[in-house]
Amino acid sequence: MLSISGKDFFQYGQQPLLPTLPFNFSNYEVAWASMSSTYFNNTVIIGTSVAVILIFASLTSFALARFSFPGRKVLFYFVLAVLAIPPTVILVPLFMLIVNMGLLNTRWAVILPYAASQSFAILVFYTFFSTLSKEIFESAEIDGAGFFQMYIHLGLPLARPIMSSIGVFLIWIQWNDYIWPSLVLSNPELQTVALKLVVFYLGRGIPEPGQGMAASVIAADPAGDLIWFLVICGHLLPA
């Protein structure tokens, strides 16, 4: 992908796989001009939904793992049952719900369904909190700590590695999601990186494999460090 991203159409025809010189940084300039606006949209969508999932999933799993109350097992089994439902089964009813709520072509149409998908995170958090020693929480309870105090001062600090792992997994899933954003986001200004990548490939009249692969490199690098480096090199290096 990196090799082809630096080729023009003639270089690609002569040598489609191995690197060739000169490296065409202009491919990244064209691709970045088309896709840069989607990074802000994706950052808002992913940042908001992942934060909501981590907060509420950890709260739910902490209560399920550390406290006994009526219906606790039923609630946990319900969470497990939700995991068994394929996402494609609920696409149509979820789309109709978004339409009836008047959220079509808004960021909320993506943020709310993403934030509601908490079953996997609850299961992972629950497994972790269940393994913690009961004596720690009993000591805190004797000292007068309530539920939120134990959650903030004991549960969250101990669950930092789990939160970071779930966060990375969720960001990866949502960054590459194409099906749901393609249903609810037709406005080009609100499209995600995955959607813009497909539009970039299909919407160009003349096939340019180098520019297409440059767009793929941009889409595969959320941090954008490599893209900025290549764009800057394109301006600094002599023609």
How many CB atoms within 10 Å of residue 158?
13
Identify the residue with better confidence: 102 or 17: 102
Q: Is the pLDDT of residue 72 over 70?
A: yes
Q: Tell me the pLDDT tens digit for each residue of 205-225.
A: 667 788 888 888 888 766 444
* Sequence-ordered strand ranges (E) for 126-228: none
pLDDT of residue 135: 84
pLDDT of residue 226: 45
Tell me the helix, strand and coil percentages in the chain, rounded to 5. Answer: 75, 0, 25
Q: Is the pLDDT of residue 69 over 70?
A: yes
How many CB atoms within 10 Å of residue 74?
8
Asked which of 66-75, 137-146, 183-192, 222-231 is least confident by mean pLDDT, the reply is 222-231
**pLDDT mean over 56-84:** 87
Buried b / exposed e along 22-47 (16+ C-beta atoms within 10 A)? ebbbbbbebbbebbeebbebbeebbe
Q: Mean pLDDT, the chain, as a whole number?
A: 83
pLDDT of residue 14: 84
pLDDT of residue 121: 92
pLDDT of residue 239: 41
**pLDDT mean over 61-76:** 86
**pLDDT mean over 111-132:** 90
pTM to 2 decimals? Answer: 0.80
Instruction: State the first-to-last Cα distance of the chain, in angstroms, to the nearest integer.
Output: 23
Q: Is the pLDDT of residue 36 over 80?
A: no
Per-residue confidence band for 231, with pLDDT thresholds at 50, 70 and 90: low
Per-residue confidence band for 199, with pLDDT thresholds at 50, 70 and 90: confident
